[in-house]
Amino acid sequence: MIFREAQINDIKQIQIVRNSVKENTLSNPDLVTDDDCIEFITIRGKGWVCEINNEIVGFSIADLKDHNVWALFIKPTFEQQGIGKQLHKLLLDWYFEQTTNNLWLGTSPKTRAEAFYRKAGWKEIGTHGKGEIKFEMTYKHWLKISSTQLLTSQPKIFAQTERLILREILATDEDAFFEMDADPEVHKYLGNNPVKTKDEIKAAIKFIRQQYIDNGIGRWALVEKSSGEFVGWGGMKLIKETTNNHIDFFDVGYRLLKKHWNKGYATESAKASLKYGFKQMNLDAIYGMTHIDNTASRKALEKAGLQFVETFDHSNMLCNWFKITKEQWLANKSS
């Protein structure tokens, strides 16, 4: 299950979702055109989709010009899975990061949608259109809801191994993250300098969490089950910059606090990440790279199943390039 920003090439599937719903249906499907969708996700506002096995099963769109929720719909067969709740959160968080203007929406009465919005904290303020209930969300109330969610919500877990939990990175990981990234030995083969302030870590965490929204994936926190400690990060990242003549590819990686080196956590997290990438994301191939002298990292990638392809120059550093296809991963599993 991937949540990401809606793109123009998603419109066909978005329309399928819109016309599959049983509530708040359109009297005429032609009332909402592909051009309308393009305008709302590229000019007037922004949209998000939930994708499962390359199928879009839900979407939400915020209209920044008219300050309303233009759409939030889930395929009936995918209801009751928390998809609407997450699409709703992504929409609200983005909207109120852009403006403090009140946000409104209209929905038919006596529907599951009405119950959903009431439970989510929307306030009824009147009627709209042909008998729809008009709801409103204020900036102040959104802040209150957001702070409550931070206190009560559980972090999203993407994968687990025998010894590790792979979950979303949180602001509360800051201290351990700083300990890791301030260590010169951790940065020996990374080609950059250790961080000096926790503000740099705050920015890094914010950047990673934005990737969850923009790309549907980003590095995960590695948490040791036996101690509950943050031991580093792992997982995958969508690389949008050209690297070794590749672009828009998924890279598996890891970084660990020095005190957790030589425990096999890099390999363990990489294996879990590959499984998630090939089974949940249905990827065709996953890549990896290490500094040419980082033999420990190379061994971890190879133990996870990636195969060495070549050596290349990466930002004036010689690095090794690795790859594994879904077919190779499946073959490794069966052998």
Decide if pLDDT at 11 tops 90.
yes
The DSSP letter of residue 278 is: I
91 has pLDDT over 80:
yes
When pLDDT is averaged across residues 286-290 and rounded to a whole number, the result is 98
- The residue among 118, 28, 16 whose CA lies nearest residue 58 is 16
Number of residues written out for the chain: 335
Please report, for the chain, the start and end positions of each structural domain, with discontinuous segments joined by +. Answer: 2-152, 157-334
Give the phi and the psi of residue 48 in degrees, each rounded to 5: -135, 150
Options 3.90.1300.10, 3.30.420.40, 3.40.630.30, 3.30.365.10; CATH of 157-334: 3.40.630.30
Mean pLDDT, all residues of the chain: 92
Confidence check: pLDDT of 47 > 80: yes
pLDDT surpassing 70 at residue 305: yes
Q: Give the SS3 label for residue 215.
A: helix
Domain spanning 2-152: which CATH class is it, in words? Answer: alpha beta
Of 68-72, 191-195, 202-206, 244-248, the poorest mean pLDDT is in 191-195
Q: What is the dihedral of CA 50, 139, 201, 238, to 10 degrees?
A: 20
C-alpha closest to that of 273 among 217, 333, 332: 217
What is the sign of the dihedral through the CA atoms of 92, 96, 100 and 101?
negative
Distance CA 177, CA 198 (A): 9
Predicted local confidence at residue 152, as pLDDT: 53
Q: Alpha-carbon distance 212 to 196, whole Å?
A: 26
Distances (CA, A) of 202 to 9, 86, 152, 208, 247: 34, 23, 21, 10, 27
Buried b (16+ CB within 10 A) or exposed e, 214-249: ebbbbbbbbbbeeeeebbbbbbbbebeeebbeeeeb
Average pLDDT over residues 152-159: 77
Tokens 């990060």 sit on residue: 233
